[in-house]
Chains A and B, each alone.
Chain A
Amino acid sequence: MSRPVLLVEDNELNREMLARRLRRAGLSVVVAADGREALARMREHSPAVVLMDMSLPILDGWSACRMAREDEQIRHIPIIALTAHAMEEDRRKALQAGCDDYATKPVDFPALLAKIEKLAEQ
């Protein structure tokens, strides 16, 4: 995978942890801490896959996802929504907003890697 993975997460403890795990798995990682920054990074780096937390400051994950889908330049980039456990409603909203898949937090890392690889190939 030559292009990076974009990780969007406002909680810095979690963001650092996930970024570290992704790098350990051999991926290059770009990070963003809110929805607006996420859209900017998507345009800038054209990542292979975006991992996006849904509850983000400034611009939440659902809105960022919807806006990405309306943007000609980045609409094709697959997005995996990161949602809290048991929040069925959040998952449904994420898929409606145009996310391609979702993973529940705390993430099952091997399963998340499999999802990233699958979406990056397409």
Chain B
Amino acid sequence: MTSSHQAPALWSELLLRSLAEVRELFSRLEDELGPASGDDFAHLLEGGSRLKRMLDSDAEQPSSHDLMNVLAAIRGYAEMLLEDIGELIPELAAALERLLKAVQGANDSGQESAADNGQPRNITSEPGFILAVDDLQENRELVARYLSRSGHIVVTAAGGEEALSTLEQTDVDVVLLDLLMPGMDGREVLYRIKQHPEWRATPVIVISGSQDMDGIIECIEAGADDYLFKPFNPVLLQARIKAGIERKRWHDREEQYRLQLERNEKFIRATFGRYLSDEIVTDILERPEGLELGGDLRRVTIMMSDIRGFTTLSERLQPSQVVTLLNRYLGAMTDIIMAHQGTIDEFIGDAILAVFGAPARREDDADRAVNCALAMQAAMAGINAHNRAEGLPEIETGIALNTGDVIAGNIGSERRSKYGFVGHPMNVTSRIEDVTAGGEILVSDSTLHSLSGTFQVGTSQAITVKGIDESIVIHQILGANP
């Protein structure tokens, strides 16, 4: 969340401002200085003029080497002057120290950009980036002086509009806002900040000229984070700024964490959402263990369906027609299965394997499965109407249902796994599917006995299944009794 491309410009602003301050003090105090110091000042200011020329030149970006050299010279002379006159002229010493801090800042930002190879940059918690808004220049300078002395970067704005345009350009940590200003006043700026989706979290400290508690309360209600009365105590200002920066950092970290979670959730939804109903995806998301490989034994109702004679049918069609036909059919069936909270395990060509009761088990799993099968058969008329309109053949599906205990879980390897099912009931369902005719729904005895609603049952028959000795009984489902 740092705005690195803006950093050099801001450092240069701070540097030039510090240099101007030193130059101004020097011209005032020149007579009090010895000749040696005067010479050092002349060199320092010469360095400053060169720096200004480099930064002002639109024609070319100054090379980092040239910039570094001139910064090194400024630093060297400033340090020598500080050694010589620091104790004699405290006012000048303070200005030189500010200048040295600005040089250090410029140097650090240059170092940062040299070390930046597109890798994510660590966000340092200090110094903060402070926007001070006040219509009076002396107040702005005072605040800038206090805060830049403790390492903050301070940009100032002389009015509401200027403050908003600075906010648009930079990522500000704390706004220090004077309430009483001509034009757009502090209250209006505060409202705009707190209504802006991206600025809203930026702490605002309002500064009031009078002991107007009602006005302050109004501002706090409008979202101001803190307040100060003028004339304010610099220590109190520092403390409030520090608290504001911490609040902003905390918010930034929280925001990053939230984005990370959102990305993870999006990924999981994209991965599972195609096969599972939203409800099941949410269920998985809410259980952190949900994505671990593993399994458990569950009683589920298994559904298998396929289009009768699809292989023969597809041989007569163009590949694109086969795809159109299949997508229309599978798309409609997917919607119906999801609407009944079924879990689609897979599509195998035209066949669908779905399960009711995993990952989430419900009392009415079998009922939902049967109702789902009835809805699927009912939807075939609409699908065939579309097919006829496009000159595609009509199709018929057969649906088999069976209820039993299966192992449900994420099956596969670390690299590729899916939520799937294994167990003998799966084979039994497949065997029932083999004997299902077009338009028919066949359910096993176990499914029939799991139903709590009543359905119209047609003929029953016994079939044998490979691997088990006894035969199983299956029933035709014709419809639901209201």
Contacts and interface: CB of A to CB of B under 8 A. Distances in A.
Interface of A: 11, 13-14, 16-18, 20-21, 24, 55, 84-87, 105-107, 109
A17 B76 contact: yes
Contact of A20 (B50, B75, B80, B103): B80
A109 B79 contact: yes
A7 to B, nearest CB: 12
Given A105-B68, A106-B71, A85 B107 contact: yes
Contacts of B43: 13, 16-17
Given A84-B68, A106-B75, A106-B76, A13 B47 contact: yes
30 contacts: A11-B69, A11-B70, A13-B46, A13-B47, A13-B50, A13-B69, A13-B70, A14-B70, A14-B72, A14-B76, A16-B43, A17-B43, A17-B73, A17-B76, A18-B76, A20-B40, A20-B76, A21-B79, A24-B80, A84-B64, A84-B68, A85-B107, A85-B114, A105-B68, A106-B75, A106-B76, A106-B103, A107-B72, A107-B76, A109-B79
Contacts of B76: 14, 17-18, 20-21, 106-107, 109
A11 B69 CA distance: 7
B65 interface: yes
Nearest to B112: A86
A76 to B, nearest CB: 29
Contact of A106 (B40, B64, B72): B72
A103 to B, nearest CB: 11
Contact of B68 (A18, A21, A85, A109): A85
A105 B72 contact: yes
Nearest to A107: B72
Query: Which of B46, B68, B72, B111 has the most chain A CB within a 10 Å cutoff?
Result: B72
Going nearest first, the 7 A-B pairs with the smallest beta carbon separation are A106-B72, A17-B76, A11-B69, A86-B111, A13-B73, A86-B114, A106-B75
Nearest to B47: A13
Given A14-B69, A17-B77, 6 more contacts: A11-B70, A13-B43, A16-B43, A84-B65, A105-B72, A109-B76
Contacts of A85: 68, 107, 110-111, 114
B123 interface: no
B60 to A, nearest CB: 18
A121 to B, nearest CB: 25
Nearest to A9: B69
Nearest to A11: B69
Contacts of B77: 17
A42 B42 CA distance: 31
A17 to B, nearest CB: 4
A21 B80 contact: yes
Interface in B56-102: 64-66, 68-73, 75-77, 79-80
Nearest to B68: A84
A55 B68 contact: no
A85 B109 CA distance: 11
Given A14-B76, A86-B111, A106 B50 contact: no
Contacts of B50: 13
A16 B69 CA distance: 12
Nearest to B111: A86
Interface string B136-175: 0000000000000000000000000000000000000000
A39 B76 CA distance: 26
B115 interface: yes
Given A17-B73, A18-B76, A106 B47 contact: no
A105 B107 CA distance: 9
A106 B107 contact: yes
B271 to A, nearest CB: 42
Nearest to B70: A13
B435 to A, nearest CB: 75
B93 to A, nearest CB: 17
Contacts of B71: 106
A13 B77 CA distance: 10
Contacts of A109: 76, 79
A55 B73 contact: no
A17 B40 CA distance: 9
A16 B72 CA distance: 11
Contacts of B72: 14, 17, 105-107
A81 to B, nearest CB: 15
B69 A105 contact: yes
A21 B84 CA distance: 12
A113 to B, nearest CB: 12
A20 B83 CA distance: 13
Contacts of B66: 11
Given A13-B43, A106-B75, A87 B69 contact: no
Contacts of A87: 114
A55 B65 contact: yes
